[in-house]
Amino acid sequence: MWSINYKRLSILLILAITLLSPFYYSVLAGDQIKSNTFLVGSGTQTGTISSQTDLPVSFYVGNDLTGVINPVKKAVFRVNFIYTGSGSIQFKIDGDSATAKTFSLLNSTRQTQMELVYQDETGKMDVSSAGNYSHILNVIPSGVSLDNLSVKLDTTYQFAPNSCVDGASNNQKVKTTEFYVGQIDGAMGLAATMPFSVYIGDNLTGITDPVKSVYFLITGVYSGPTVLSLNINSGPAKNFILDTTSYSSDFSLIYKDDSGVINPTSAGSYNYTLNLSQTNSTISSLSVKAILTHQYKPVSCGVSYPPYGDLVSATYDSTANADGAAYNSIMWKGKLGGASFDKGQVLFQMAASDSASGPWNYVGGLTCSASDWFSTVAGSPTQVNCFSALNNKRYFKYKIRICADDCILSGNSTPTVDDVVVNYSP
């Protein structure tokens, strides 16, 4: 059962990709803490909000809370919007005045980007057992007009660990993972596509609608009026209005998959394409990541992991020009599985192409063939070697294979991969 998550970090001759969902699980003697993120609301973004708006809130707790007093340690709403005017914005939960908190907003005659953090300090959203929970977030502007309103909920709660590594098989759980979608370093142009992959390695058997929340965080800079339109695959599009500005201004938008295009019902790697278009060429430095929260059923005690799990990375641009790079080495940071951290293997293959769309021919090992892999040691760079197959090509991808034992036999532990580093020369 494999679970992996990655995002792109900055590049300066070295490309680092962080893998946030470890492959190795450990058991602590005391209670444990978990944080998850859920999308609360993101409208069509084509209208202006100047009066009370009620947003349904739904979050899921899947862990054993037996014996834990006040499990929810923090419930925080992150509210993003653009506003004009002078006044305030108030938040409540379920219309309860005890939860009310008011934020004053300075007078602004032009559209101003804001992010506010509203925390449930009253325990209104505390829970005592696993399950789905629903509330209403009341958003009440006064004297100001809001555009591009979006809200996320971050929950942190304490739970009682089981004697099993990941809990009994009937103890359904939930996790949040982030996936790198794409980035445009310069001007976007009128249209762009971003192919990306979502990987779920957990057991989803018997779970109805395992995806509890999925949304895209889009950030960038724009310098004039435009309408940004987004959709996944051939699904319906959603439009975001970026109003007139006389200078470059950063923006942050949340796009929700309202049509449920991303809704895996079993473990595996799923490929999608995010389509973007704008009415005027004013957007640049655009980046996108996907945040997915899903429910899963942990493996039963004593059940072995499969022999291996594979993941193919996103496409990376090494040079941003026609000249290709020289790929020197690949390295991963983390540890092997087992109590002594000596179980399993981490293998790699690489592929390079002159085109962002491929073709992609993965090679590895001393033979530089499709059937061979680069064998690696944590924290130690492994020379790539396959110069004729990889060098002087602008785009590259990698394939990682995480093995529970020797990549042939199953095992009861797996390595933890925290970072992958590809070293290349432009």
Using one digit for the tens of pLDDT, what is the confidence trace for 233-253?
998 898 888 876 667 788 888
Q: 46: pLDDT confidence band, cut at 50, 70 and 90? A: very low
Residues 358 and 378: their CA atoms lie apart, in Å, by 29
Q: Which amino acid would we find at residue 51?
A: S
* Tokens of residue 85, six digits: 């005017």
Query: 154 Cβ partners below 8 Å, 6+ apart?
Result: 35, 36, 37, 74, 75, 76, 77, 78
For 329-361, the pLDDT digits (tens) are 999 998 888 777 888 999 999 999 999 888 999
For 26-41, the pLDDT digits (tens) are 333 345 777 888 888 7
Residue 8 has pLDDT above 80, yes or no: no
Q: Which amino acid would we find at residue 148?
A: N
* Tokens of residue 37, six digits: 């993120």
Q: What is the pTM of this model?
A: 0.50
Least confident of 44-48, 141-145, 152-156, 176-180: 44-48
Report the share of the chain in percent with pLDDT over 70: 86
Q: How far apart are the first and last CA of the chain?
A: 37
Query: 383 Cβ partners below 8 Å, 6+ apart?
Result: 328, 329
DSSP label at residue 299: P
Q: What is the mean pLDDT of the chain?
A: 82
* Tokens of residue 364, six digits: 């590895």
The whole-number pLDDT of residue 231 equals 93
The whole-number pLDDT of residue 301 equals 59
Least confident of 18-22, 123-127, 394-398: 18-22
Q: What's phi and psi for 390, nearest 5 deg?
A: -120, -40
The whole-number pLDDT of residue 410 equals 76
Torsion of CA 391, 397, 402, 403, to 10 degrees: -50
Residue 13 has pLDDT above 50, yes or no: no
What ranges do the domains of the chain cover? Answer: 6-13+30-296, 308-425
β 72-93/96-119 pair status = antiparallel
Contact between 231 and 258 (Cβ < 8 Å):
no
CATH 2.60.120 describes domain 308-425:
yes
Residue 393 has pLDDT above 80, yes or no: yes
**Residue range 94-112: average pLDDT?**
89
Choose from 67-76, 261-270, 370-379 the range with maximum mean pLDDT.
Answer: 370-379
